[in-house]
Structure 1
Amino acid sequence: MPLLISADELARRLDDEHCGRAATRTVVLDVRWTLAEPDGRPAFRTGHIPGAVYVDLDRDLADHAAHGQGRHPLPSEEAFTRAMRAWGLRDGDSVVVTDDVGIQSSARAWWLLRHAGVEDVRMLDGALAAWTGAGHPLETGDAAPEPGDATAHYGGMPVIDADGAAAFPERGVLLDARAAERYRGEVEPVDPKAGHIPGARSAPSAGNLDAAGRFLPAEALRARFGSMGAVAGTPVAAYCGSGVTAAHEVAALAVAGIDAALYPGSWSQWSNQPGRPVATGAVAG
């Protein structure tokens, strides 16, 4: 199943659906979120892809009641089922996710939907900028979809915990998707300790995109990850600060044809657990 969709292809799909020519319904999910601006509703209301539904990353894609699991613990199957139905998702729908930061936040929705068993989930390559750059229109205001009937069944994507992350470099490649200076331990703006999981390799998620915010071609991504030892057939896992941009890393690896596990707790969990070792510097420990 393809992972990416272009703005023009999405526009054709939505037009076909509007005209009754589509065999499958396409639902567009807009996940506007950044650490600095976690509430994306104002931006969504200002302009979004026609028919898109706003997804609140903090409310819908995380369970903040799960203590000790990092800043963005995975929601339960029951909670994610409620979210999917509130977005209007039905079993058999195709889903396209987007944001306004190069899929850095909406990849979390892509990953969770795949984990929940939704088969056809694609990322809008280039995100909202690609849509507007291609001359396609936006609509304003809120969205109120009719409730759907989709049900989450977790297990579609591999997951590791803190102990798994600790042992992972012994058998495979553990990638750190944060900015390189955070990996090296030079700065740490959010978490209590600076550095990285011993044995992890630095692979900032921003390096997965070109200057236009689109994913690099599969061959270029294979070369990028291959230089870190991450190749098809080798166990690969990814983490970041709180499990959000690590989903983007897993998505980029998938575009390259490389399966990878996600460590949802990521550095926000690891750095808060007493006794977990911390490495610093440019070379993986």
Structure 2
Amino acid sequence: MTAPESPLKSAAWLLDHSDDPRLRVLDCRYALTDPLVGRIAYLEGHVPGAVYADLETDLSGPGQPDGSGGRHPLPDPGVLAAWLGNVGIGNDSVVVAYDDPSTGQGFYAARAWWLLRWLGHRQVYVLDGGWPAFLAAGGAPTTDEPTPHPSTFAPDVRWEMVARAEDVENRGADTLLIDSRAPARYRGDVEPLDRKAGHIPGAVNRDWSGALGEEGRWRGGEAQAGRLNAGDAPTITYCGSGVSATPNLLARELAGVPLGPQNRLYAGSWSDWISDDGREVATGEEA
């Protein structure tokens, strides 16, 4: 059996392929605590040819008044496909997404990677080590914003990659539910973003940041498998709003389990779960 292609690309690869006419780069830098930080960082310097992908306006859909769908709902597939086409990404494009793991929030590129895979695009990758790796490899930043040539992106949505609250509630006994947030949020000690603290009953805690090692680079497949400790069990992974869970989904793919029925994202995550006061909430350490 042929091993699946890695979802990662190195900075050296990116520099070597900078002249490839099919290459498209997404700058996904962002900060949940200050939505302007990423855009400002992009304007101050970015990978040549990169288009800025804003978590709120490009990589998420509009929120609902009752909170259902979570704080960062999935965008409408047609809307996301149209945006991709407008920034020059077509079905034959090779897409590399990057963020800045040195900020402690290196999960935005994984969100973009997951979304494109959800739309059926295979040639999408995360830059291993992100922005710092590009600079360390000798990459020369630019402040020039590209003028993309619009393309056509026809989505082939893979709904089997997505879990809803009902799927979480009715999951089989063999399904491992993974909470990707920091341990203090999982336990319910603190909750800086959502109106309730705690976790979904039965979930185990696998902090997303453990997917990254030194210098913000991704750990290898064996290390990911040992960290997640999921074995061959199907998994549903969540976080606060479906963003920081995506590194664990990528990590599981590195460990040999591709996105799909065995490796799903609860897209609405904790913020969707607590939108219904009838759903149970647990606190404390893993049972």
**TM-score with structure 1 setting the length:** 0.91
Residue 25 of structure 1 aligns with which residue? 22
Deviations 1:41-76 (A, max 9, x none): 111010111111111111111111445211011111
Contact 1:80 1:152 in 2 (8 A): no
Contact 2:30 2:39 in 1 (8 A): no
What is the correspondence of 1:64-213 to structure 2 with a 5 Å cutoff?
Answer: 64-67=62-65, 68-101=68-101, 103-155=106-158, 158-168=161-171, 170-213=173-216
Counting matched residue pairs gives: 273
Deviations 1:5-30 (A, max 9, x none): 1100110011xx2xxxx4x6111111
Match 1:215 to one of 213, 218, 224: 218
Deviations 1:142-175 (A, max 9, x none): 3321211112221165111012112336231110
Bigger CA drift: 132-141 or 186-195? Answer: 132-141
Deviation at 1:248, TM superposition (A): 1.6
When residues 124 and 209 of structure 1 are mapped into structure 2, their CA distance, relative to the original with a 3 A threshold, is same
What is the correspondence of 1:234-273 to structure 2 with a 5 Å cutoff?
Answer: 234-259=233-258, 260-273=263-276
When residues 59 and 156 of structure 1 are mapped into structure 2, their CA distance, relative to the original with a 3 A threshold, is same
Bigger CA drift: 64-73 or 115-124? Answer: 64-73
Match 1:38 to one of 30, 35, 50: 35
CA distance in 2: counterparts of 1:42 and 1:34, whole angstroms: 11
CA distance in 2: counterparts of 1:157 and 1:59, whole angstroms: 25
Identity of aligned residues (%): 40
CA distance in 1: counterparts of 2:150 and 2:183, whole angstroms: 42
Bigger CA drift: 265-274 or 194-203? Answer: 265-274
Contact 1:175 1:202 in 2 (8 A): yes
Residue 56 of structure 2 aligns with which residue? 58
Structure 1 unmatched runs, 5+ = none
Residue 13 of structure 1 aligns with which residue? 17
**TM-score with structure 2 setting the length:** 0.91
Deviation at 1:210, TM superposition (A): 0.6
Helix, strand or coil: the match of 1:175?
strand
Bigger CA drift: 145-154 or 202-211? Answer: 145-154
Deviation at 1:92, TM superposition (A): 0.8
CA distance in 2: counterparts of 1:121 and 1:256, whole angstroms: 18
CA distance in 2: counterparts of 1:197 and 1:148, whole angstroms: 41
CA distance in 2: counterparts of 1:262 and 1:59, whole angstroms: 20
CA distance in 2: counterparts of 1:37 and 1:222, whole angstroms: 33
CA distance in 2: counterparts of 1:93 and 1:247, whole angstroms: 22
Amino acid corresponding to residue 134 of structure 1 in structure 2: A
Contact 1:27 1:52 in 2 (8 A): yes
Helix, strand or coil: the match of 1:122?
strand
Contact 2:180 2:208 in 1 (8 A): yes
Displaced runs of 4+ in structure 1, greater than 6 A? none
Structure 2 unmatched runs, 5+ = none
CA distance in 2: counterparts of 1:198 and 1:6, whole angstroms: 38
